[in-house]
Structure 1
Amino acid sequence: MSDNAARVRSTDGGEAGGHRPGPLATVPAEPGSAKPDPILVVDHLTKSFGGLRAVRVDHLEVQRGTITALIGPNGAGKSTFFNQVSGFDRPDSGGWTFEGHPLAGKPAYQIARMGMVRTFQLTKALMRLTALENLMLGATGQSGERFLPAIVRSWRSQEKDVQRRAEELLDRFNLTRMRDEFAGSMSGGQRKLLEMARALMVHPTMIMLDEPMSGVNPALTQSLLGHIQALRDDGMTIILVEHDMDVVMGISDWVVCFAEGEVIAEGRPRDIQSTQAVIDAYLGSRTGDQHDVLEAEQ
């Protein structure tokens, strides 16, 4: 049995630490359960690659202002699902709404402008730009990017506001000392913080984090967790794909488990750790030679 699989069984599922169940306290722990105030609603979403069915989600709702974790064994469809709803890939069928607005068919940049942004497991920092420049580039609606305002230089006051916000975010994520350093000189953990800060430049209402702890050294893990909780406490909705069960059980308000492209279970952390379908998905339902399939989804 892998260490992470064991934690599915043994991690304390109480509401201490980072949990804040709030409106989810009375929601049934079952796939497709309705939420009191969903910000994201997905219906009949499917995606196949040749003969492989990667995603088939009949119905899923994400509660506003909470941290929702997506878990599941390698190849379960978590990252593919992320790519569909964030506009980076097109599903075969189905639809989804964000803040009540249909998103099917919209490109990623339009979805981001509507307030749903995402990060990637492999960071997308521009290595030959400084930390400050990376953040400023993430701001949307900059008039200097249009031809006429660029000529008459009417963008200067706006750029000062953009720079001010970028510097505030550098300070929030403890990256001020890296302000003028190239992103390529930063550690993997620092680039994770930088990417999260850059996502906030568009003033999102929901942020999707794809394995935020992957490649992060232990010294920065707690810092990242603290920032994620702080964003939730500020009213932002967080969805994260994560394979580290200590992180999932310690920080999540709600957990959704994928297996073979489908949602097989969802609930509070304490519900998930005792759900037989989740244990079977990670360990295999056979009682004899169980396979260790709990690896990070590629």
Structure 2
Amino acid sequence: MGADTMDEKHETTHEGGDVILVADGVTRTFGGLKAVDVDHFEIPRGKITALIGPNGAGKTTFFNLLTGFDKPDEGSWTFNGQSLSGVPPYKVARRGMVRTFQLTKVLSRLTVIENMRLGATGQKGERFLPSVLRFLWQGQEDANTERAMDLLRRFKLDAKKDDFAGSLSGGQRKLLEMARALMVDPELIMLDEPMAGVNPALKQSLLGHVKSLRDEGRTVLFVEHDMDMVRDISDWVVVMAQGKIVSQGTPDAVMSDPAVIDAYLGAHHDAELTFDMEAQIEAEAEQEIAAETEEKH
């Protein structure tokens, strides 16, 4: 199946199978600029989907809308068939849809293990009256700590458990945020540029962890600019440009789609430069220079 462009109507955006999230008619405008204008969007269940596009395409804004961190002008979306329109972020997470951020949100003045414990939901000790009666929540906290340590060992952060999160490197913070997200045992994990600012030594580790999430039966949606990574781990790729979905398909099909190439490099970038075109460009440049000179005088 080849890549699909935005001019076509689709019942699904992938090669068959179940979908976990569906969005329709989602728009968001800032000061007259339509940052997001998505007609239809789906995420296949149990797969890794990459959301790619040039800077300013609206990818992070779309993430924020889907997870309740921002409100759209219009549109609707569902997760496991349930509407998420107007649902606040903490309730979105409780339903099994969690996200990480391009700039990590670890709590720097808490230790690594304390950051992990905060990721657990439904903690009895968080309520005022039970908080003073330790015997009511000690068992639950012990279980949360055990789960947190299992995850820290998986992400090779167990040796850092008592270190302040602020002392971690950028890559280690990414790992911590991913591990903390798993404390709620989510079905869908949304990663916003997980490789940004990560040194090469940790990139392969992060790649392996993303793949392992799919192997466990979880669904992954991630934003990324590294096309080698996208091709390596993605099952499905969706391309945004100027707020719209311009293409979607398998990694190989999308990478060769003219709509994608144009989105990144500009239309007609690969057209042969004829003599007439060259003369026209030169004439236009001379006109601009003459106009600028005239303005100065």
Same fold (TM over 0.5): yes
Amino acid corresponding to residue 115 of structure 2 in structure 1: N
Of the three residues 213, 217, 226, the one matched with 2:208 is 226
Residues 1:187 and 2:175 aligned together: no
Of the three residues 63, 81, 95, the one matched with 1:114 is 95
Q: Give distance in 2, aligned partners of 1:241 and 1:115.
A: 19
**Higher RCO structure, 1 or 2 (CA under 8 Å, sep 6+):** 1
Write the deviation string for residues 9-31 of structure 1: whole angstroms up to 9, x where unpaired.
xxxxxxxxxxxxxxxxx697455
| Shift in alpha-carbon separation, 1:147–1:27, aligned structure 2, 3 A | farther
Residue 61 of structure 2 is matched in structure 1 by: 80
Q: Give distance in 1, aligned partners of 2:182 and 2:141.
A: 16
Residues 1:105 and 2:91 aligned together: no
- Counterparts of 1:139-288 in structure 2, within 5 Å, are 139-153=120-134, 154-287=136-269
Greater radius of gyration (CA):
2
Write the deviation string for residues 197-225 of structure 1: whole angstroms up to 9, x where unpaired.
00111111000000000000000000000
Q: Give distance in 1, aligned partners of 2:53 and 2:60.
A: 10
Write the deviation string for residues 169-204 of structure 1: whole angstroms up to 9, x where unpaired.
000001111111111111100000000000111111
Checking the alignment, whether the CA contact within 8 Å between 1:29 and 1:268 is kept in structure 2 is no
Write the deviation string for residues 214-270 of structure 1: whole angstroms up to 9, x where unpaired.
000000000000000001110000000001111111111000000110000000001
Amino acid corresponding to residue 171 of structure 1 in structure 2: R
Q: Which runs of 5 or more residues in structure 2 are unaligned?
A: 279-297
Higher helix share: 2
Give the drift of 1:128. 1.1
Q: Give distance in 2, aligned partners of 1:79 and 1:157.
A: 39
Q: Give distance in 2, aligned partners of 1:131 and 1:92.
A: 38
Residue 8 of structure 1 is matched in structure 2 by: none
Residue 296 of structure 1 is matched in structure 2 by: none
Secondary structure of 1:141's aligned partner: coil
How many residues are aligned here?
Answer: 264
| Shift in alpha-carbon separation, 1:271–1:33, aligned structure 2, 3 A | farther
Residue 22 of structure 1 is matched in structure 2 by: none
Q: Give distance in 2, aligned partners of 1:36 and 1:27.
A: 17
Secondary structure of 2:21's aligned partner: strand
Q: Give distance in 1, aligned partners of 2:76 and 2:57.
A: 20
| Shift in alpha-carbon separation, 1:168–1:132, aligned structure 2, 3 A | same
Give the drift of 1:151. 2.4
Moved over 3 A (4+): 26-33, 286-289
Q: Give distance in 2, aligned partners of 1:56 and 1:36.
A: 25
Write the deviation string for residues 33-91 of structure 1: whole angstroms up to 9, x where unpaired.
51520000000000010110101111111100000000011111111100000100000
Secondary structure of 1:201's aligned partner: helix
The 10-residue stretch of structure 1 (33-42 or 44-53) with the greater mean CA deviation from structure 2:
33-42
Checking the alignment, whether the CA contact within 8 Å between 2:2 and 2:250 is kept in structure 1 is no
TM-score (norm: length of structure 1): 0.86
Give the drift of 1:286. 3.2
Of the three residues 22, 25, 30, the one matched with 1:49 is 30
Percentage identity across paired residues of the two chains = 61
Checking the alignment, whether the CA contact within 8 Å between 2:3 and 2:254 is kept in structure 1 is no
Q: Give distance in 2, aligned partners of 1:272 and 1:120.
A: 25
Q: Give distance in 2, aligned partners of 1:270 and 1:233.
A: 22
Secondary structure of 1:75's aligned partner: coil
Q: Give distance in 2, aligned partners of 1:239 and 1:33.
A: 20
